[in-house]
Amino acid sequence: MSRALGLAAYAVGCSLVWAMAWPPPAVTQPLAFDHARHAGVACGVCHAGVESSSRAGFPPSAVCVACHASAPGQVDGRAWEALSRAASSPWTPVTRLPEHTWFSHRRHVALARLDCASCHGDVGRRTTPPPRNPVRLAMSDCVACHRHEGASEDCAACHR
């Protein structure tokens, strides 16, 4: 009984800490990328790691320049110049797990064949970048799906 109470108090404590850290500060991306306009391009063209590694990754500018030799649409020429000269991918992730957790896209996309939307909501159909993670993936969400799908509920599977 006291063990159950202890666990319950701990869980409430964790969710309080989580709630106080929410929402995180807004992120500004180098330009207003429009996913909906790129609906004909497979997600993996720009997020090359989804099937093969832990990180989905962001597109290096060479991927954009391969289709857009010059600034597309309403994009300012100088902003496009800066983007196309960037040595590494200039995009900032909004979805981040704490250091003590382990997550792999390959496992969920290539093996479990889950839809991106089951964890990221409608990001792939948005017309502007989300300033914050639109979907809050808490431990309880991970564990709820794992229970439903018969995947591991071992603490050590997600905490390494």
Measured CA to CA, the distance from residue 76 to residue 73 in angstroms comes to 9
- Name, in order, each residue with C-beta under 8 angstroms of 123's C-beta and a sequence gap of 6 or more: 35, 116, 130, 134
CB of 150 to ligand HEC, least distance (A): 7
Contact 84, 65 (CB under 8 A): yes
CB of 139 to ligand HEC, least distance (A): 3
Tokens of 104: 């792999």
Cβ-based nearer residue to ligand HEC, 2 or 36: 36
Q: What is the distance of C-alpha 24 from the center of its chain?
A: 14
Cβ-based nearer residue to ligand HEC, 55 or 82: 55
Cβ-based nearer residue to ligand HEC, 1 or 111: 111
Cβ-based nearer residue to ligand HEC, 1 or 130: 130
Cβ-based nearer residue to ligand HEC, 2 or 74: 74
Measured CA to CA, the distance from residue 160 to residue 98 in angstroms comes to 12
CB of 104 to ligand HEC, least distance (A): 6
Measured CA to CA, the distance from residue 153 to residue 156 in angstroms comes to 9
In terms of Cβ atoms closer than 10 Å to its own Cβ (0-12, 13-18, 19+), residue 20 is exposed
CB of 85 to ligand HEC, least distance (A): 13
CB of 1 to ligand HEC, least distance (A): 19
